[in-house]
Structure 1
Amino acid sequence: MSLTDWIVLGATILVIVVYGLWKSGTNKTTDQFLVGGRSLSWYHIGFSVMATQASAITFLSAPGQAYSDGMRFVQFYFGLPLAMIVLCITFVPIFHRLKVYTAYEFLEQRFDLKTRVLTSLLFLIQRGLSTGIAIYAPAIILSIILNINTTYTTLFIGGLVTFYTVYGGTKAVSYTQLLQMSIIFLGMFAAGILVVVLLPHSVGFGHALKLAGKMGKMNVIDWKFDPNNRYNIWSGIIGGFFLQLSYFGTDQSQVGRYLTGSSVGQSRLGLIMNGLIKIPMQFCILLIGILVFAFYQFNRPPLFFNQYEVKQVQQSAYAGQYNALEVKYTAAFEQRRAKSNELISAIDSKDAGQIDRAQANLKLADKQVNSIRRDGIGLMKKNNEKADTDDTNYVFLNFVTHYLPRGLIGLLIAIVFLASMGSTASALNSLASTSVIDIYKRIIHPGASDKNYLLASRLATIFWGLVCIGMALYAGKMGNLLEAVNQLGSYIYGTILGVFVVAFYVKRVGGTAVFIAAVITEAIICVMGICGTVAYLWLNAIGCILVILFSLMLNPFTKEKAKVA
């Protein structure tokens, strides 16, 4: 990066942090530290909810996901608006009426302590693992810029975010996220415009989309029902609904965002805002990935996007073979570029036969390019069995650092850092609140002073920061980070959601029945996930349904009278 980019990057992050800490004031009570005094307005909540979900992974991995797999990932979010409506009707008013700090407090009032503790522990496991992945995403950027191993950059990023969260609390997180999302929207819009501007003069926005469509990338909606297909309209609406309902309704990292609302109405408006904006936002981010794909049909992409792994093989005994592949790759790319230009000309001619021939020729040329690329990856594996051979997380970053103008590179990299800071800070805050309110305050040290709980909250934030850093060090082996986060969530979210659905709607079921049902269900879901029985989105629906069914079946055998919160 140039000096200008470093200045923009440093200034943007500094302004965000100072603004957030200034607006947060001093946290003197647990209520201020964990829920911001319940004083925030709907637009704060809406941006905070979006920023918590839209981590650095979103802006690094989503364009790469579209580059390699097309637009079909957007179907993942189709169940979101319906989930927001259900939350506004059911979850939000109950949480506000009970004035809870965490979602799991309600479960003790409705069931018993063991059910509250079980769901709290499930959340802590899932969110701790996922937050580690979120920390790893910006560490990738620093490792490329500084040309050092991601281990060192992961330790730096994780330590920075942990310090920021320990000092600022949830109010600093929320105010910071409001400004973060404004900058993020501006920067991503500018990036999308510049991708189109950088295309050849004969290739416009429409040409780019048509070319991507002919290459199978504009697969926005898949109507075919297939339980083994990760992304189709059915898995998105049904599986996605259960996942989003569980994520926003039972995951403390999100519940904690709208518990800061000054009223039920403000929290509801914030969630509705998220439901209306999230799908178009994700569509646009994926579309940037499609435009980058079209750009690289006319501009030579690297043989492998992760330059750290490239340098490792170039410094090994396989360097000669890899360099020979680079020469073959360049020749194959030139062939593909020629075929891409032929397809653009065919599209302009509107001759169906010519278009079909050009499309077939381009696919053959692309197949040759990908074959050489696979050979290169094979050499990386021979050199190092532990090499990270999934480079989708590096696609957009490579484009940004090589083709965007000075200043904007720094801004877009700052965006990834800001997104990471926002989502990770929210997660650490929620992990701390659940650890202190549901475990420490309820079981280990009940009846202590508020000062004691405030100190415990800060210490818990530090503890979870260290745990998440440890997970981040492993995250590089998990493939596309965007998918990895959602897969981890799908192992647990369905079970937790099932417990809450029983709590809200099946009043006759008691705590023992739902506790046993949750344990059995979680074991089944883990086995199904590990064995790959169905696509991971379906695990959310299956987990929720199994908890409900097992609870109803087991309840007659438990001599326990159900409580009503």
Structure 2
Amino acid sequence: MEFSVIDYVVIFIYLIGVAGLGIYAAGRQASTADYFMGGEGLPWWAVMFSVVATETSTLTFISIPAVAYGGNLTFLQITLGYIVGRILVSKLLLPAYFKGKQTTAYQFLEQRFGPSMRNVTSTTFMITRLLADGVRLFATAIPLAIILRLGGAFTAWGDFEVYLLAIAAISLITLIYTLVGGIKAVVWMDVIQMGVYIGGAALAIGIILYDLPNGLSGAMTVASDSGKLQIIDWGFGQPFADFIAQPYTFFTALIGGAIFSIASHGTDQLIVQRLLTTRNVDNSQRALVWSGVVVALQFGLFLFIGLLLYAFYDAQSAQALGLATTDEIFAKFIVEELPVGLSGLIIASLFAAAMSSLSSSLNSLASSTTLDLYKPYFGKKNTQAEDLKISRIITIIWAVILTGSAFFFAYLQLQEGERPAVVELGLGIASYTYGGLLGAFLLGRLFPKPDKNDAMIAFFVGLVSLLFMVEGPIHNVLPGEPLVIAWPLYTVVGSLIVLLVGNFSHFVKRI
């Protein structure tokens, strides 16, 4: 079976419908408060779903089933840490944000350490989002290229051209409703698009179960016999250097997942902006904590798809199925096994996941740029209408930059000749800078004595130190065997370094 005209019509109608619904849901925008904060406040449950949809991208939709297909369920250990981290953010950081009536996460650092610290952390956030979301947007093109190839379309095109087409289409449609509707359009479209991609995943599960000769019990028997139902891995009995390099052992996943979640949901404007759109701190806390539970269930759903696919394809390796990596396994099923029209609906689900993440990134980047960098220095005398116009111009600029970043990652991927582990690549990039950001926030929140100079020194020492513990070019010039840590520990180690250096710097100045 191959992609039909009906499938392409379904995708086209979905994309046009998304743009129209997003503009309609937003209503009229009269100020940056409407554009970036949603006006009078949004319902907590809508913000909760928006947070989940923002975290979800093509990486989740395509790569998480591949994790279970090629491994087991130990990835779920991280979700327990995610829930713990969200609870701590709701108690530690959210009350401080609402008390100060802030519009970006980095205004707290300005109040504590001065404007230079706000500028540095805000800029770090932008660079992180540029790289991490470039990977996310690029990753959308990987399964789409596979689908178009397997479906017999665009066979005369090269991979790079197909990537450019997918990236450009997603960016353009997302920009339209984000540009016009602001955060309100983003949140409500996140709610709708989460329903679309979860519905698409549930539909795929139903079809796989229908096609399996021995049904669910047979699939679980195959998974159990292959050791794929393992959830907990203590990781004991191996050397320490190997232990801290493994991302999915229990304590690494729990502690790393919790600290990562504190950083991503307590210091990253991408998420904090959504939480500040609720009516009060109680609603914000409710949205945040419950989002952790929903994310855990969502990961479980996509891992379950991987187990079913393992039984469906008789436990064959990716190479035996003619695929480059297991990342391609769900895409193969979508194109080859789904009835006409349903394949298009599932791909629309994939677009939904990508657009919900991209729209959130565009609006949060525009808000941080406008409110942290432009407004304090160049727009103090602007009217509300002028600020809104500038905000939309900045949104367009970021759309172009993010699209270019995705093109760049697509180019690099083709140059290397092999597909990267996109889930770990995207999370790893974010984790790297989250350590410095979280450390700066905790230094300001928990330790009253360190000043702005201590914070600035500690922040940069934290970022530089991680270069020596993350596998990369620097390791090639280091003598001996360098220390490598698993990506869930990047944030843990980075934030600890910032706290230690910040307090040590203060101590040294007192001597």
The CA deviation at 1:444 is: 4.2
Contact 2:42 2:279 in 1 (8 A): yes
* Counterpart amino acid of residue 196 in structure 1: L
CA deviation after TM superposition for structure 1 residue 183, in Å: 2.2
Sequence identity percentage: 30
Alignment of 1:136-535 (within 5 A): 136-143=138-145, 144-145=147-148, 146-147=153-154, 148=157, 149=159, 150-199=163-212, 201=213, 203-225=214-236, 226-297=243-314, 303=320, 391-476=325-410, 477=413, 479-529=420-470, 530=472, 531=475, 533-535=484-486
Report the alpha carbon displacement of residue 301 of structure 1 after superposing the two structures with TM.
6.8
Report if the CA contact (8 A) 2:19-2:173 is conserved.
no
CA contact (8 A) 1:239 1:538 kept: yes
Q: Is the 8 A contact 1:140 1:153 kept in 2?
A: no
Unmatched runs of 5 consecutive residues or more in structure 2: 237-242, 414-418, 476-482
2-structure distance, mates of 1:483, 1:161 = 25
Q: Is the 8 A contact 1:513 1:558 kept in 2?
A: no
Shift of the alpha carbon at 1:258? 1.0
How many Å apart are 1:496 and its aligned residue?
Answer: 0.4
| Runs of 4+ more than 4 Å apart | 298-306
The code of the aligned residue for 1:537 comes to P
Task: Tell me by how many angstroms 1:299 deviates.
Answer: 8.1
- AA at the equivalent of 1:451: A
CA 1:462 to 1:42, structure 2 compared with 1: closer, same or farther past 3 Å? same
- Uncovered stretches (5+) of structure 1, i.e. residues with no partner: 307-388, 560-565
Is the contact made by 1:17 and 1:176 (CA closer than 8 Å) also made in structure 2?
no
Residues 195 and 36 from structure 1, CA distance in 2 versus in 1: closer, same or farther, beyond 3 angstroms?
same
Q: Which residue of 2 aligns with 1:536?
A: 487
Distance of 1:534 and 1:511 partners within structure 2: 29
TM-score where L is the length of structure 2 = 0.88
Deviations 1:81-131 (A, max 9, x none): 111211211222221222211100111001111111111111111111111
Cα distance, 1:15 vs. partner? 3.2
Matches within 5 A, 1:114-153: 114-143=116-145, 144-145=147-148, 146-147=153-154, 148=157, 149=159, 150-153=163-166
Does the aligned pair in 2 maintain the 1:65–1:480 contact within 8 Å?
A: no
Matched residue, 2:65: 63
How far did residue 298 of structure 1 move? 7.0
Shift of 1:209: 2.2
Letter in 2 for 1:166: L
Contact kept? 1:78, 1:233, Cα under 8 Å: no
- Deviation track 1:325-370 (CA, whole Å, cap 9, x = no partner) reads xxxxxxxxxxxxxxxxxxxxxxxxxxxxxxxxxxxxxxxxxxxxxx
Question: Counterparts of 2:182 and 2:50 in 1: how far apart (Å)?
Answer: 14
Query: 8 Å contact 1:228–1:534 — kept in the other structure?
Result: yes
Rounded Cα–Cα distance in structure 2 between residues aligned with 1:66 and 1:496: 32
Q: 1:152 to 1:182 in 2, by over 3 A?
A: closer
Kept in 2: contact 1:80–1:241 (CA 8 A)? yes
Pairwise CA distance, 1:558? 4.6
Number of equivalences: 474
Q: Is the 8 A contact 1:305 1:398 kept in 2?
A: no
**Could you tell me whether the CA contact under 8 Å between 1:392 and 1:480 is conserved in 2?**
no
Distance 1:301 1:428 in 2: 35
Q: Give SS of 1:20's match.
A: helix
Measure, in 2, the Cα distance between the counterparts of 1:300 and 1:487: 26
